[in-house]
Structure formats: C-alpha cells, structure tokens
Structure 1
Amino acid sequence: MAKLRIAHIIAEVPWPPDKGGKISFLNHLTELSGNPRVTTSLVLLDADGDRARYADHFRGMGIDTAVFDRSLPHVKEGFVAGLRGFLSFIGSTKPRICRLRRNRAAIEHVRSLMSEGLDAIVYEHISGWELVPPEAAGRIPVVCLTQNVETRVALDQFRFQHCASPLKIFFLGEYLKTLLYEKRMMKRITALISISENDAEWYSAAYPRARVITTDEQIPERSRCWQGSASGKRLLFIGSHRYFPNLDALRWLSGSLMPALRRLDDGISLSVCGLSEEEAAAFGLTCDGIDYLGFLPEEELAGLHCECDLYVCPIRLGSGIKMKILDALSYGMPVTAVSQSLAGIQVEGPAANLDFGDPAGSARRVATLLSDRAALREMSAVTLRSLEEYRRNRRRFDEAVLEAAGFGG
C-alpha cells in the first residue's frame, strides 16, 4: 500500500526544544513522521529569526524539510522594525502573530507539494494557516492543530494590560482581529485537533459545525524520580517573564504568596528558572526567599524537579495544556496549582490549592502540604500510577491526524 503524503506545517523551528510550545511541536512531528503509513514533508517558518540552521536536525532524521523566513522583523530590532510593525497593525485585518508568518515562497513550496500528489495538510497553531495555499481547502483535507484557544489568549492579553497603558488599544485590536481570523479559518478547514479536552469543548460550543478531535501530549519517561529535599521546604516554578501568563504568575508569587508563606515559616524558599536576578529586579519581582536561577540546562532542571519538594503553578491566563506541569509530573513531583493551570490535565495527583484571590489561604495550604511528608509522597505515588494508565491510553497525534483527515486512526 502506498504511503500517505502529508505536509506538516510548523510556524516555528522547534529545535532546540527550549520552550513548551517547541517541545509540543517536536513531539508531534516525531510522532507523525514515524507513522509507517505516512511520508511527511516538513515546512518550517523561522519565527525566531535565528533558527534556520537547525533545519538540518530534521533532515538528519530523514524528513524532507524546507525552512522559510518570517515576513516582519522583530520590533526589538530597532525603530524601523517597530514602525513596520505599527504600520502593519494599522493596515491589516490579521493579528500580528499571523501577519509575521506570511511567506509567499513557503506557500509556493506547499503548492508544489500539492502538484506532486499531496494527500493532506496539517498545520500547527492558527498562524500556520498563513502558509496554506488558499486553493488547498476543498481539494485535500486541511487540519489545524491548536495548543491554545488563541482568541481567549488574545482576550487575556488585553485584560492583562494596565488601564492607562497605550498597549490596551493595541491588544484590543489584536483580540478583535484574532476573533475574526479564527472564525474565517474555522469555516474552511476540514477539522481541528486540540491538545486539551477543555479547549476542544470550547471549540465545539463556539463552532457547532466544526469537526473537533482531541490528542494527548506525550509525557516523557524519566530515569530519575522525585525525592524532595532534606529541609522539606523547597518550592519550584519554571517560566520566563517574557510570556505574559508567566509574568502574571511571577508577580503573584513574589508579591503575595511568598511573603505570606515566609510569615508562616521563614525557612520556605522558592527556586525560579527562566529569568535571572537582574531581570527579576527590573520587573520588581524580588522577594526574600526567592532564588532566580536564569535558564538552566536539562540536567540541572532534572535535579531541581527531583530535589525540590513541591511544584507551584499559579498560571491563570491563557489556555491549552501547561507543559511545565506535564514536565513536573513526569518525575512524579507533587504539584499544587490554581484550577486554571490544571485544565485539560488528564493525570491524577496535582492539587488545586492555590487561589489568586486568597494568598493567605493559599500559603496556609502550601505550608500544610510541606509539613506533611506522607501527603507529598502519596501525591507522588498517585501521579506515577496515573502516568502508567495515561501512557497506555494516550490518544496519539499521528492517529488524530489520520482520523481528522479522513484516513482512519
């Protein structure tokens, strides 16, 4: 039987996999390209502006790979780049995250793949729609994979801005453009795949005629397992301030939770990976008991997951699956979080003990957990048992793509 030819469009170069989104992209392309029924043509867009050289990593995996540049420069590149971004915002009905990924050469490349007998197109993130030739929809199956509900993310980003900030108007415009863009896209695609059951339910309610399928993210198997610290008082959070849901969480951790915890027990400490002490000071995030460690290599992150006592995740904004929680769970690490952070998580063990509106109560619950070693060990044991079941029953990405495209799972 001839293999199915599928173009896999990813609007980033997911190597090295140093962020949650890139880890997800890498897992998906590895799974789809490894399916014995499929031959994959990988189409990447270098949204970061400095990763095209890493495309050889995927060619080394035996995957036909083409990489293209983003159409707009980063606004941080200077005044001209900022001016181009502003004019693009004024003159386009598309959200910026989609505008910058438009690339005519990439579209022509996908068009040439279609002329050679392409069976389907799957693209990751709604911005990948920018690299799909308009005539593809209706001719072959076109499937979108979403890590988030981007309309909800854009609305959260608008709400996140201070009332007096001029960015409030910009993000209101981005929200409205994202809403319009998503509605137009949903009318044309064959199906949508979501990595979160919660997001899938949202899409099904918002677009009743859409075909929505759910896939489950891979959770890696680890050679090391959580043990905790000798003191029993070490917390861990991983996240860069450059992503606004993380910054919102960091402000609460440094301004509310940790001061309340330290009043209960000044021996409790929090290790934060993803920003340095200098960056934390620049954003007003310094607090007694918090150590900002910057970006760490994988080996050191593994050590922290095994040696800290409790992972805290107060991320209330955005949607999708929190990859940082899946990473912590992969070590059997106890996790406490706000309920929003646990949305879509299919593994048992984490506790929704954090509440933005009640930092004092959150601190008491965290302190109680830290003082009960048996409870932490039970959380870890429940997590490890649940992981075994999750891996047995996981809905694989490659099977979801084949089902969404009409080729069976």
Structure 2
Amino acid sequence: MADGAMKEALRITVVTSHLPHVATSGGRRRELELMERIADQHHVEMICVTKTFDEDRQLVRRLRSRCHGIRLVPTDIQAPEVPPIGGDARPWHVARHASASASAEIARGLRRHRPDVVHVEGYYLMQHLPGGWPGPILLGTQNVEHALLLQRAELTIDRMRRKMLLEQVLRTRTFEREAWRRAESVVAVSPEDRLRMLTDEANLDVHVVGNGADHEPTLPRGVGTEGAPVSTTGPPLIAYVANFDYWPSRDGAEWFLDEILPRLRSGTTDIDVAFVGNTSSRTLADRAAAAGVRVVGLVPNLDALYRSAHVVVCPIRVGGGVKVKVLEALRAGAAIVTTSVGAEGLASAQREVLNIADDAAEFADAVKALVSVPRQQRGSGGPLPTWGAAAQELERCYQMMIDRAGASRSSTSRS
C-alpha cells in the first residue's frame, strides 16, 4: 500500500477514545479500516482512553493480532452523554475523557515506544499528551465539535438548556482551537469540515482524509441480532441505520417519529419502518414502538438489509464529516432520502443520486414517491471512495510531518 516515498516502517502511537472493534458506529468503522491498513505497513501502538472499559476488555483480543500493542485505560468518571446544566467548567467532551491514569500511561507509552508520529483521535484527548512532547502530533477530527453543539443549540426549545449549550459552544471552540494549534497537522473527514477549521484558524495545516465504502458492512459471529428485518415480500421496508446511542442519530430518529412519519403514513399506511443499529435508550424504543416502528438493534449483515429496503432514510439534522451509512447504502444501490447534513462530504456525482430534503414535509414526500413505485436497484453515482486511498493519504500526512521535523532539526543544528 505504501508509495515509493515510504522507505521504512514508521512507529506510530494512536490515542483514541474507544476500541475500534467491533465497528458498531461510523466512527469505529473509520478507525478500524484505517488502522488495519496502516498497521499492515507500520508499527502501530494503540492506547484507548475508554468509557466502556469492561466491554472493550472482552473484545481487545480480536484486535491485538492487527496492532503491535493495545492498552486500555478507563476514564475517571462515567459522565452522561447529555451535557449537564452547570457544574464542570471544562467542555463536556474534555470532562468525559478525563483520566489521570490515562495521562500517566500515555506518557510512559511514549517514552517506551518513542514513536515517529503521535496520532490523537479527538481534540478532547490532547489533554493527555505530556507538555513539551518534541515529536510530530497529528490530530484526527471526525467532526468540528463546537459546530455540532451550535447546531444542537439551534434545535433546542428549552431556554435554559439552549443557554447551557451555547456556553458549551464557546468552551469547546476555545479548547478545540488550542488543540488544533498544538498539533502539527490536523485531519478532517470532509472538505466542509476543513473549511470550518480554516475559517477559525487560517494558519492550520489541515488535510482531508475521507471515509471509504469498500468494506463489508458485517459484524463478527455472535454480535448483533440474528434475523435481520430483510424481506422481499410484505409492505415496503423503510430503514434508518444508525448508532442511536449517538445524540445526533437519536435526534434524527425523534424528528422522524414526530414530524416525518405522521406525514408519511397519511395516505401511505402500508409500510414497514425499522430503526436498525446500536441503541440502549428505552425511551426511544418505547416511542418507536408506540408509533409502530421496529427497533431492531445490530444486524449481522447490513448489505442484505440495504439491498432489500425499499428506501433507506438518513434524517440527521446535526453532524459533519461523511456518513459511513450513506456510503454503504450507495454501494448497495439503495434508494436514499437524506438531509443536506447526511449528504455532506460526498462528491457531486453521489449527491445527484440522493434525494435531499431538510423540511419534514419534503422529506416525507420524497419517501412517498419512492414507496409508490416498484423497488429498483440504483446506481452509486460513479466510483465510491476506498479505504485504501484514505489510508494512503493518512500515510502521506505522517511522512510530511516527519520530513518537516527532520528539516527543522537540520536547520537548527546548522544554525
């Protein structure tokens, strides 16, 4: 995979907030696919500052054969996903990932491993790097977090909650910008996120490393619900695939239930709607059941689901980057209705085969139009991005940082 400029294996320490395996979310899928390819060519040590320590400890053996070393360190507190009102003055993401033991373990690991590059996945983990670390630091960002919080605040009706969220926007923006400046290079998932960063910090070195679509959207044996909601008979299947434990996905589900589904059922009652993916929210499950929507959980083979669904919906209103689930559905030739947020980061050819609607009535009308005609296999809008190309771009980022660091040392020694 490495190009001609890559003459020897690099030593890379990756600091992440979860074990990428099992890939039950788009973020985990991204980290898994990229790190597998990078570890094929380079010496990768991974340190996971995890909020799900016990769960990850059971799964770590599945990934150990793919990396040269993996260490799990628990966060100090099990902070709620929804930011509390008042309390900690730090940004919510930073507080959730605080861990004195992680800071100590990362410092020990860097001294022991002596990496050529430190890759930190998430601005909130930069707090754990020792001050004055002399080597190149690459900061991976899957979202511009303060922009997501601002989107969230704009959707919030409760005045006190909105005020709290706007305070979080300011705190998060300050910490994010400090993290961006500390890193030698920053990686964004989409051109839109890169532009957001450069609008805030014009002198950043920001590279786009997108998501790929050439993975098999399956889970290992024993993970997921046996018996996916796949049927070629019966009412048309409308599927929303997401990690519903992630707030933007859950907000999309609630918007679908409250605003889109009633319009969809008006004159089109004979449909089968399924929410497919990770969820621990009893409230969402109960609301969905009351609306006649099945909450299926994890499905072992998503490709079969995409190919049998009449319509795949992505009613997400908060987000950034490139949605892995949209890429998966495009690859399967599914008919897709999404918001402009769900279409972000895609090439124009891919966007042309999507049905994009940000208004609930328009979204429902787009789904109705697709349900009213026989299911058809659709195109993907041309070649889809690959994980191999994304990993090569990430490698180039590593090498450019190392080359710059070497040139800087040479210049300093000459002076």
Query: What TM-score does the superposition give when structure 2 sets the normalisation length?
Result: 0.81
Q: Which residue does 1:115 correspond to in 2?
A: 111
Identify which of 270, 274, 279 aligns with 1:271.
274
Partner of 1:348: helix, strand, or coil?
helix
Contact 2:288 2:295 in 1 (8 A): no
Q: Which residue does 2:157 correspond to in 1?
A: 162
Q: Which residue does 1:63 correspond to in 2?
A: 68
Structure 2 counterpart of 1:162, one-letter code: I
| Structure 1 residue 223, shift from structure 2 partner | 9.8
> d(CA) in 2 for partners of 1:200 and 1:256?
32
Q: Which residue does 2:236 correspond to in 1?
A: 233
| Structure 1 residue 327, shift from structure 2 partner | 2.4
| Structure 1 residue 108, shift from structure 2 partner | 3.3
Q: Which residue does 2:314 correspond to in 1?
A: 313
Q: Which residue does 1:72 correspond to in 2?
A: 77
Superposed CA deviations along residues 44-96 of structure 1, whole A, max 9, x for unmatched, are 112224223433333232421221110223459xxxxx9xx979x6354x312
Partner of 1:43: helix, strand, or coil?
strand
**Is 1:42 equivalent to 2:46 in the alignment?**
yes
Partner of 1:339: helix, strand, or coil?
coil
Contact 1:71 1:99 in 2 (8 A): no
C-alpha RMSD over aligned residues: 3.2
> d(CA) in 2 for partners of 1:16 and 1:110?
23
> d(CA) in 2 for partners of 1:145 and 1:167?
29
Matches within 5 A, 1:165-314: 166-222=160-216, 229-230=232-233, 233-274=236-277, 275=279, 279-280=283-284, 282=286, 284-286=287-289, 290-299=292-301, 301-314=302-315
CA separation of 1:261 and 1:180: change in aligned 2, threshold 3 A: same
Unaligned residue ranges in structure 1 (runs of 5+): 77-81
| Structure 1 residue 168, shift from structure 2 partner | 3.3
Contact 1:280 1:292 in 2 (8 A): no
Contact 2:259 2:360 in 1 (8 A): no
CA separation of 1:153 and 1:404: change in aligned 2, threshold 3 A: farther
> d(CA) in 2 for partners of 1:34 and 1:106?
26
Provide the aligned length of Structure 1 versus Structure 2.
382
Superposed CA deviations along residues 222-260 of structure 1, whole A, max 9, x for unmatched, are 599xx9945673211023543332232222322222222
Q: Which residue does 1:348 correspond to in 2?
A: 350
Superposed CA deviations along residues 199-225 of structure 1, whole A, max 9, x for unmatched, are 11221222110000011212234599x
Structure 2 counterpart of 1:348, one-letter code: Q
Contact 2:189 2:210 in 1 (8 A): yes
| Structure 1 residue 123, shift from structure 2 partner | 0.8
Q: Which residue does 1:79 correspond to in 2?
A: none
> d(CA) in 2 for partners of 1:66 and 1:169?
38
CA separation of 1:336 and 1:238: change in aligned 2, threshold 3 A: same
| Structure 1 residue 392, shift from structure 2 partner | 9.4
Superposed CA deviations along residues 340-377 of structure 1, whole A, max 9, x for unmatched, are 21010236266453434351x33333222333448x43
CA separation of 1:368 and 1:285: change in aligned 2, threshold 3 A: same
| Structure 1 residue 403, shift from structure 2 partner | 4.4
> d(CA) in 2 for partners of 1:33 and 1:222?
19
Query: What TM-score does the superposition give when structure 1 sets the normalisation length?
Result: 0.82
**Is 1:144 equivalent to 2:139 in the alignment?**
yes
> d(CA) in 2 for partners of 1:330 and 1:306?
10
